[in-house]
Amino acid sequence: MRLRSLLLGSVLSGVLLSSAVGDEGMWLYSNPPRQKLKEKYGFELTDEWLGHLQRASVRFNSGGSGSFVSEDGLVISNHHVGADALQKVGTQKKNYLRDGFFAASAADEIKCVDLELNVLQSIEDVTARVNAAVPEGLSGDEAFKARRKILSEIEKESLKQTGLRSNVVTLYQGGAYHLYRFKRYTDVRLVFAPEQQIAFYGGDPDNFEFPRYDLDICLFRVYENGKPIKVTDYLKWSKAGAADGELTFVSGHPGKTNRLLTVAELEYLRDLSFPYTLTRLRRLDSLLTAWSGRSEENARRAREDFFSVQNSRKAREGGLAGLQDPTLLAKKSAAEQTFRTRLAVNGEFPEAAAAYDRIAAAQQVIAKQFIRHRLLEGEHGFESEAYGIARTLLRAGEERPKPNGERLAEFVDSETASLELNLFSDKPIYEDYEILRMSDSLAFLAEQLGVSDPLVQKVLAGKSPRERAAELIRGTKVHDVEFRRKLYTGGSAAVDAAKDPMIELARLVDGEARSIRKIMDAQNELRNQAHAAISRARFKLEGTGNYPDATFTLRLSYGPVKGYVDDGRNVPAFTTFGGLFERAAAAKQRPPFDLPPRWNKKKDALNPSTPFNFVSTADIIGGNSGSPVVNRAGEFVGIIFDGNIQSLVLDFAYEDQVARALSVHSSAILEALNKVYGATDLAKELQTGRRKR
């Protein structure tokens, strides 16, 4: 992987303070950048325009974004967002993830396994109510319990009143709390997916690079009561698509950024969190490479996991490179010190002035627990579907009888429907793949903690990681959905009576895992309180016209379609179909630059000047994958699928000189559907907004 200069010089000086610069911002729909858009682009952001885009935007709970693109419930997202669904409906004989899929009729649409889509309906600020329920002077643990109680109370109350999925989201690292209500859909059917080779053309070598030539799309249809839903707010398809220099908007669900973190928190990421994560990802990369190379069926079973690991590895490598660049920490430190000096001179915010030291102290405690927390509570030492199911059954038996406000967050009433959807999923689980993953993770557990660690000794029970994993996977019954239902319904008594070896392993680990989680929760509560104090001071001194870090909630970003200069080389904003075939020919069709057979066959039918992928300055991060790109009229002009290598620093700070968001052009989608796949009715549905009657 080539890590070019991340240009973390003067362009960061503004963003590392507090006010957004350039086209920076993952903006809340409840606090959009109206004035900035009007002043810079003359664009009037109306409530009607924004509300329509909000209701047309879709969140994939498997991770990613999408949008409605017809009145008949058609949803478009990325192929790599849909990969989990493709993997689960595929078989050894029907490898939809690799070979693609097209439903020629409504009867051919395949119902996805445990796929949940959410559409944001409303946002309510509940900050005052949350903070009022957490008195000052409480210990970290007491404050965490009080906050957990009020959050679960608000969510349960909202769910009962509205029937909508209700989640209280923490913003500004504790500076605000907003209640998000979602319409939830679980009958989602696969309509179209191209071959993975064209969806992810260029493979890992081209990942996070540009120019790119990827048809990274996947189409689904949402049903209710056995019929496609009727959608009022869907995105109309642009006739021309995105144009060079045109202002565009991105509506999606960025997962997580760290722009508001303190220097102490960034140093923790640089020195501990990212290096650990990369060690684990590189190990998994090696494991899955070897496993996939042994047979075609192995490769099919591991394909989605393999892509996820490689993508995450490359993203973390870029993020760590940014953190290791002394310019970033120097600018961040200078900005932090400037604000602390301002607080000291002002004298009105003693809590905020002391907050930085409180955060640093909490980070020291967190760092001491970090490895064991990831391995035990994070399940990195027990990688397998079976262990996750077993622990869920064990904890459900213990948590569900408790008052709602005292349960672990994943077991509160507002999360029950999603939890049960996943727990009772009949997705395929493969014994040999389970043994592979668990044996390697047990070995990782032993390496990280030491074979002589008392818990490791108990976990391995005198056996090698491979022997122990095989014994557990072959001995457990949690792969059986009806067995899970029986234990879940029967509660702790049924779970205890089952004497299932995987559940008993989870029980062995659970005491320490819960203890560590309690410590981490308490310290994170103290961090959030400190950040809240800083946020209150910022709001008072600088106003509230800024955006919070990403939280996998709906955000609005914007920026023009624009190329860039990379190492003195002009990089145009667009690639074309002609460029795709030139790239394949130059590489002599060697993997990963080979084309699917049907693309070679249909080459002459395609217009080589059709725009394929394009770049813009929109502010995005992981989770934005599948986000619609729209023009001033709110029309669909493209779909986000990646960022370039220089954009990986956006986790920590905005940059718009060379960092770019990558999208598939709307014209490329129609051209491919019509001329490569013969999906003319589907293409017409996108153009007209209606399915053929």
3-state SS, 42-110, equals CCCCCHHHHHHHHHHEEEECCCCEEEECCCCCEEEECHHHHHHHHHHHCCCCCCHHHHCEECCCHHHCE
250 and 195 housed in the same domain: yes
The per-residue pLDDT for range 312-366, each reduced to its tens digit, is: 999 999 999 999 999 999 999 999 999 999 999 999 999 999 999 999 999 999 9
252 and 268 housed in the same domain: no
pLDDT of 543:
85
Residue 27: closest CA among 254, 332, 319: 254
The per-residue pLDDT for range 151-172, each reduced to its tens digit, is: 999 999 999 999 999 999 999 9
Residue 123 phi, psi dihedral angles, 5° rounding: -130, 135
pLDDT of 337:
96
Mean pLDDT of 641-656: 93
Quick check: is 235 in a domain? yes
User: Does 655 have pLDDT greater than 80?
Assistant: yes
Mean pLDDT of 656-667: 97
d(CA 45, CA 32): 8
456 and 583 housed in the same domain: no
The pair of three-digit structure tokens given for residue 177, joined into one six-digit string: 């709390």
| 193, β-bridge pairs | 101
Q: Give the residue from 479, 507, 536 where a domain finishes.
A: 536
pLDDT of 611:
98
Q: Give the other-Cβ count within 10 Å of 4's Cβ.
A: 12
Structurally, the chain folds into a number of domains equal to 2
323 and 198 housed in the same domain: no
Residue with tokens 């860039």, as numbered in its chain = 564
pLDDT of 545:
82
d(CA 300, CA 295): 9
Residues contacting 556, CB < 8 A, separation 6+: 26, 27, 28, 29, 32, 33, 50, 53, 249, 250, 251
First-to-last alpha carbon distance for the chain, in angstroms, is 49
Amino acid, res. 142: E
d(CA 287, CA 302): 10
Residue with tokens 């004035």, as numbered in its chain = 35
User: E strand or H helix at 219, and its extent?
Assistant: strand 218-224
Residue with tokens 């909630």, as numbered in its chain = 553
The per-residue pLDDT for range 525-559, each reduced to its tens digit, is: 999 999 999 999 999 998 878 999 999 999 999 99
d(CA 571, CA 131): 49
74 and 209 housed in the same domain: yes
**Are the C-beta atoms of residues 574 and 240 closer than 8 Å to each other?**
no
**Residues recorded for the chain:** 693
Q: Is the model's pTM score more than 0.75?
A: yes
The pair of three-digit structure tokens given for residue 576, joined into one six-digit string: 């074309």
249 and 344 housed in the same domain: no
Greatest pairwise CA separation for the chain in angstroms? 73
The pair of three-digit structure tokens given for residue 556, joined into one six-digit string: 């609005």
Residue 117: closest CA among 253, 307, 301, 255: 253
Q: How confident is the model at residue 18 (pLDDT cuts 50, 70, 90)?
A: very low
Quick check: is 20 in a domain? yes
74 and 97 housed in the same domain: yes
Quick check: is 480 in a domain? yes
Quick check: is 170 in a domain? no
DSSP 8-state symbol, 623? T
Mean pLDDT of 239-261: 97
User: E strand or H helix at 674, and its extent?
Assistant: helix 666-675
pLDDT of 670:
98
C-alpha pair distances (Å), 112 with each of 83, 88, 191, 235, 417 = 11, 8, 10, 23, 17
The pair of three-digit structure tokens given for residue 324, joined into one six-digit string: 């290791």
d(CA 388, CA 629): 36
446 and 593 housed in the same domain: no
Mean pLDDT of 78-100: 96
Quick check: is 342 in a domain? yes
Quick check: is 140 in a domain? no
Percent of the chain with pLDDT over 90: 95
Q: What angle do CA 99, 644, 329 make, to 5 degrees?
A: 140
Phi/psi zone of residue 428: left (φ > 0), alpha (ψ -120 to 50 degrees), beta?
A: beta
User: E strand or H helix at 298, and its extent?
Assistant: helix 296-324
528 and 552 housed in the same domain: no
The per-residue pLDDT for range 607-623, each reduced to its tens digit, is: 999 999 999 999 999 99
247 and 285 housed in the same domain: no
Q: How confident is the model at residue 693 (pLDDT cuts 50, 70, 90)?
A: confident
**Are the C-beta atoms of residues 232 and 125 closer than 8 Å to each other?**
no
pLDDT of 11:
34
Amino acid, res. 23: D
Residues contacting 597, CB < 8 A, separation 6+: none
Burial track 187-196 (b if 16+ CB lie within 10 A, e otherwise): bbbbbbbbbb
Q: How confident is the model at residue 22 (pLDDT cuts 50, 70, 90)?
A: confident
358 and 244 housed in the same domain: no
pLDDT of 21:
63
Q: Give the residue from 482, 516, 536 where a domain finishes.
A: 536
**Are the C-beta atoms of residues 202 and 575 closer than 8 Å to each other?**
no
Mean pLDDT of 566-595: 97
Quick check: is 192 in a domain? yes
Q: Give the residue from 478, 508, 536 where a domain finishes.
A: 536
439 and 492 housed in the same domain: yes
User: Does 146 have pLDDT greater than 70?
Assistant: yes
3 state SS for 191-210? EEECCHHHHCCCHHHHCCCC
User: E strand or H helix at 228, and its extent?
Assistant: strand 227-228
Residue with tokens 């599948």, as numbered in its chain = 626
The pair of three-digit structure tokens given for residue 290, joined into one six-digit string: 């070897």
Residue 81: closest CA among 182, 175, 193, 201: 193
Burial track 380-389 (b if 16+ CB lie within 10 A, e otherwise): bbbbbbbbbb
The per-residue pLDDT for range 507-525, each reduced to its tens digit, is: 999 999 999 999 999 999 9
Mean pLDDT of 99-123: 97
pLDDT of 19:
53
Residues contacting 300, CB < 8 A, separation 6+: 90, 92, 95, 97, 98
pLDDT of 353:
95
Domain that holds residue 609: 12-116+186-259+548-688
pLDDT of 1:
30
**Are the C-beta atoms of residues 220 and 75 closer than 8 Å to each other?**
yes
Residue with tokens 């002599």, as numbered in its chain = 588
C-alpha pair distances (Å), 58 with each of 1, 61, 485 = 33, 10, 30
Task: CATH number of the domain at 236, please.
Answer: 2.40.10.120
Quick check: is 167 in a domain? no
Residues contacting 678, CB < 8 A, separation 6+: none
The per-residue pLDDT for range 376-393, each reduced to its tens digit, is: 999 999 999 999 999 999
Residue 114 phi, psi dihedral angles, 5° rounding: 45, 30
Q: How confident is the model at residue 20 (pLDDT cuts 50, 70, 90)?
A: low
C-alpha pair distances (Å), 538 with each of 126, 530, 654 = 19, 13, 19
Mean pLDDT of 422-443: 97
d(CA 523, CA 534): 17
